[in-house]
Structure formats: structure tokens, C-alpha cells
Amino acid sequence: EGAGSVTTVVFDKTGTLTRGKPEVTDIALFNGYSEKDVLFYAASIERNSEHPLAEAVVSKAFEHNIMLKEPENFVAIPGQGIEGRIGGKNILLGNPGLMREKDVAFSAIEKNISGFAGQGKTPMILAIDKMIAGVIAVADTLKPDAAKVVNRLKIMGLEIIMITGDNKITAESVARQVGIDRVLAEVLPADKAAEIKRLQNEGKRVAMVGDGINDAVALAQSDVGIAIGSGTDVALEASDITLIGNDLAGVPKAIELSRKTVRTIRWNLFWAFIYNIIGIPIAAGILYPVFGSMGLLNPMIASGAMAFSSVFVVSNSLRLRNAKLSD
């Protein structure tokens, strides 16, 4: 019922609109560090992280047969990156926000960062002892049906929004590829629910579509939480609707089925009321003064008519089993 009244659909990016399996596409080197050096330090500091971007970096290091070290003082900073120590060196790996917070100068590489971001890639800055060593660009492939699903939802009259922790340039590049006009970028995991709440305060009925542990609170906050079946257990638990597998086509289908169901319920109520509004007075003899005995309703006919009313409502509802939903 809630899905049928939704006005706005908010998609998480990573793992929802994209496959959730990013790959390292480019590595820019600085201050004399080699590609092997950058991959060694980046993958070593990321080896204990479960983030998809971390998996991409570690996988790239393994492709180059690089032996990794166990990081010390490992700290994951939500929405910014990671810090720790490798071989006595202080390592930072993350976005520009992390570099600013740790007083690492990166103005010389801003062109590289914006260039990667403009291509829809996520730039990860590696700093060793507060010196920039490299920028690792990671890209995630869009799901093949993402653009089609977004277009279908637009045809249904829904507002579509993408929410992500990525920087604005990267986020807008990805959004353009799938046809999404409004983007909420650089949103920390803890702030996603607040963004959903803000949309609700604007009078919108919000459906949130996500798959990760970072989406759980936002899924719970939304009017209708829709979890991708391949997502985390926490996300599945927090959602109202779980899509089987990894298919986004279930989002418009769920909303369309909800609309058809509510429409059927309303029709059933309408016909049930009309049927009784007409039938009960006739059974009570309201037509007798005009038509005499011809205006009386035989009890057998009345009971049969009542049974037919119930059969009509049930049959009308059963039509939903064969309802045609758009692909």
C-alpha cells in the first residue's frame, strides 16, 4: 500500500545502480614513487577493509604479485578513507576531505582528481608521511538495466534521486549515464537517513533503494525501503520489500503492482458498497409500495445475490495474479 503512494525514489549508487565490483583503471604517480610502491602501500592499508573500493585495490596488487604487509593502527574513517602505519610510515588513503583534515597539501594534483572524477571514476589519494605518492582511480560498472529502470520510473511520474558518498563531479557523471537529474553527493553513511527525512519534510513519499550496511538506517527511515536481494543481511532486515537477486527491474514492478493492488481494493470496496446500498433497501421492501409483490426480493434470490457479490470481489482480486507488469 505504501509503495503505491510513493512520489520519489532514491537510489544508492554503489552496488545498487552499479555492479558493486569496482576495478582500478588508472594510477597517477608523484614524488618518485613507482606503481608498485603505490599499490603496495595502498593495498596493505586496505587489506582489512570490507569496502568495495578496498577490494579493487587489493585485487590489483595481487594481479601484480605484490606481497602485502599487515597494517598497524588501522582506522577506517567513514566517508573519507583510511589511515594507519606500514613499515614505520604513516599512510593515508582516501578522498580530498581526508587530506584536508590531516593537513596534507594536494593542490598540485587537483587536476588529476577532477579529471578522473569527470570520467565517473572515484579518485583515491595516497599520502605517505604527508607526501602525495599517487592517485588511484577506481570505476564501477553500471548495471545493464539501470538506465532502462530509471526511464521506466520517470514514465510512471516519479522523481528519481541518486545518493552517494562520492564527490559531486563523479556522482553527476554517473547520474548522467543513467538519466538521473538530481544528485545528493558527498553524503556520509550516517547522514543518508537525515537526507531521506529532509525529503519527507518537503512532503514527498520516499522509497529508498539500497543494498549495503551503510543504507540500513536510510532504508528504515524511508516510507518504503527496497533492498537488493544480493545485499547485506542488515539492509535486507531493514527493508520493507526485498528484490530477488540483483535485478533492478523489480523496483518499478513492485511499485506498479502496489498501485494495481490498491486500485483493485478500491474497486472492490466501491462495488461492495453500491451492491449493498441498492440490494439491502430492495430486500427490506422499499419498492413494495410502488410494485407490490413484484417489488419484493425472494430470500433465495437475495442469498444468491449476496454470494455473487462475494464471488465478484474475490474474482476481481484474483485478476492480480495475471497482472501484466512492465519490463
- Residues 49-90: tens digit of each pLDDT: 877 788 899 999 999 999 999 999 999 887 789 999 999 999
Q: Which residue would you say has higher pLDDT here, 109 or 280?
A: 109
Residue 233 confidence (pLDDT): 65
Query: Catalytic: which of 12, 140, 191, 215?
Result: 12
Domain CATH code at residue 121: 3.40.1110.10
Range of the domain at 241: 3-18+142-248
Residue 213 confidence (pLDDT): 67
Of the residues 200, 221, 248, the one at which a domain ends: 248
Note whether residue 66 is domain-resident.
yes
Q: Which residue would you say has higher pLDDT here, 214 or 31?
A: 31
Residues 33 and 115 in one domain: yes
What burial class does residue 174 get, using C-beta atoms within 10 Å of its C-beta: 0-12 exposed, 13-18 middle, 19+ buried?
buried
Note whether residue 109 is domain-resident.
yes
Note whether residue 287 is domain-resident.
yes
Residues linked to residue 243 through DSSP beta bridges, in sequence order:
228
State mean pLDDT over 201-225. Answer: 88
Residue 147 confidence (pLDDT): 94
Residue 157 confidence (pLDDT): 94
Q: How many domains does the chain have?
A: 3
Rounded to an integer, what distance in angstroms lies between the CA atom of residue 297 and that of residue 278? 12
Residues 75 and 217 in one domain: no
Q: Which residue would you say has higher pLDDT here, 217 or 151?
A: 151
State mean pLDDT over 307-315. Answer: 84
What mean pLDDT value characterizes the chain?
88
* pTM > 0.75: yes or no: no
State mean pLDDT over 179-189. Answer: 91
Residue from 5, 85, 49 nearest 263 by CA: 5
Residue 231 confidence (pLDDT): 53
Instruction: Give residue 275's pLDDT band: very low, low, confident or very high (50, 70, 90).
Output: confident
Residue from 166, 136, 148, 154 nearest 58 by CA: 136
- Which of 3-17, 201-215, 221-235 is the least confident region? 221-235
Of the residues 109, 139, 169, the one at which a domain ends: 139
Residues 146 and 14 in one domain: yes
Residues 194 and 274 in one domain: no
Residues 177 and 200 in one domain: yes
Q: Is the pLDDT of residue 170 over 80?
A: yes
140 flagged as catalytic: no
Residues 237 and 283 in one domain: no
Rounded to an integer, what distance in angstroms lies between the CA atom of residue 240 and that of residue 227? 8
Percent of the chain with pLDDT over 70: 96
Of the residues 85, 116, 139, the one at which a domain ends: 139
Residues 135 and 154 in one domain: no
Residue 230 confidence (pLDDT): 59
Note whether residue 327 is domain-resident.
no
Residues 78 and 163 in one domain: no
For 69, half-sphere exposure in the C-beta direction (CA atoms, 13 angstrom radius) is 16
Domain CATH code at residue 232: 3.40.50.1000
